[in-house]
Amino acid sequence: MDNLQEYLDRLDMTRMPRHVAIIMDGNGRWAKQRGRDRSEGHAEGVTSVHRAVEFSSDMGIGYLTLYAFSTENWNRPQTEVDALMHLIGWAIERELPELLENNVRIRLIGDIDRIPEEARRKLLNSQSATAHCTGLTLGMCLSYSSRWEITEAARILARKVKECDIDPENITESVFADHLNTAGMPDPDLLIRTGGEERISNFLLWQIAYSELYFTDVLWPEFDKIEYAKALLDFQKRERRFGKTSEQVAKADDSKVGN
Ligand code: IPE
Ligand code: IPE
Ligand code: MG
């Protein structure tokens, strides 16, 4: 089976994840396999981002969150970091008209102040220009790490306690989540990692507490709509129990059907 339509026919449009998060890994290896520079792998990765955004919108997915650059990625060779930052700024500027046309809202997640000025300006501009959009929310994690985000939330809450804005007894899980960069977004239902590694690399540690994890060897530049559809099909086969028994889940589903 290698035709996209055959996969689409098997997908249940009523059981799509509300939020998909993706660790886009494997650009460097994709380039190396072809004897090309790593930066060419990143450039090819932009095409994959475009496809994933389009497919998410078509599938009626509400939120797509992409891990584009981690806090740890600042430690890569300066030439690669510079090329990536330039690419990110260039790509977001180029994609903006189509994002607007497709009603996609950009949400920046991470320590955006660390991004070099030119790329940062283009990113912030795309975020404000799409603020009114009501279709897919596209979370772009840049200069992001989950431990950084959680530490920031703790710091903000500590300040509020110090200033008597909040009583420590009132810091619930939901209040804590409201102080993360992802405040207001539902937790990811499905987390995909391309590139063959089976690790989380400091991504959304709090938010993926109950996400379904999907790992594929496919390198990010080769992650096409068929590969995305395969991940969605795999997700739809799983039973999400959230600590309950299979029988309890089946019963709850029956009562939903009866409604
Ligand atoms: C992922 O691809 C993109 C970023 C981390 C920016 P990599 O650049 O990590 O590709 P590999 O893992 O070296 O193949
Ligand atoms: C994770 O990829 C970060 C992004 C995809 C942006 P890495 O390639 O940096 O992850 P590790 O270092 O191999 O875990
Ligand atoms: Mg990698």
Tell the residue nearest (CA) to atom 12 of ligand 2. Answer: 201
Query: What is residue 78's predicted lDDT score, i.e. its pLDDT?
Result: 97
Instruction: Write out the residue range of the structural domain in which residue 102 sits.
Output: 16-145+187-258
> Where does the pLDDT of residue 185 fall: very low under 50, low under 70, confident under 90, or very high at 90 and above?
very high
pTM score of the predicted model = 0.97
Q: Which two tokens stand for residue 47?
A: 């095409």
Is 174 domain-assigned? no
Distance from the alpha carbon of residue 226 to the mean position of ligand 1, in angstroms: 21
pLDDT over threshold 50, residue 259: no
Residues 228-257 have a mean pLDDT of 93
Residues 72-83 have a mean pLDDT of 97
Query: What is residue 84's predicted lDDT score, i.e. its pLDDT?
Result: 98
Residues 231-246 have a mean pLDDT of 97
Is 86 domain-assigned? yes
| CATH, residue 224 | 3.40.1180.10
Query: What is residue 255's predicted lDDT score, i.e. its pLDDT?
Result: 82
> Where does the pLDDT of residue 253 fall: very low under 50, low under 70, confident under 90, or very high at 90 and above?
confident
Is 244 domain-assigned? yes
Query: What is residue 1's predicted lDDT score, i.e. its pLDDT?
Result: 57
Q: Which one is catalytic: 37, 73, 125, 224? A: 73
Judge whether 25 counts as a catalytic residue: yes
Is 236 domain-assigned? yes
Total count of domains within the chain = 1
- Taking each helix axis from N to C terminus, what angle separates 117-129 and 78-101, rounded to the nearest 10 degrees? 20
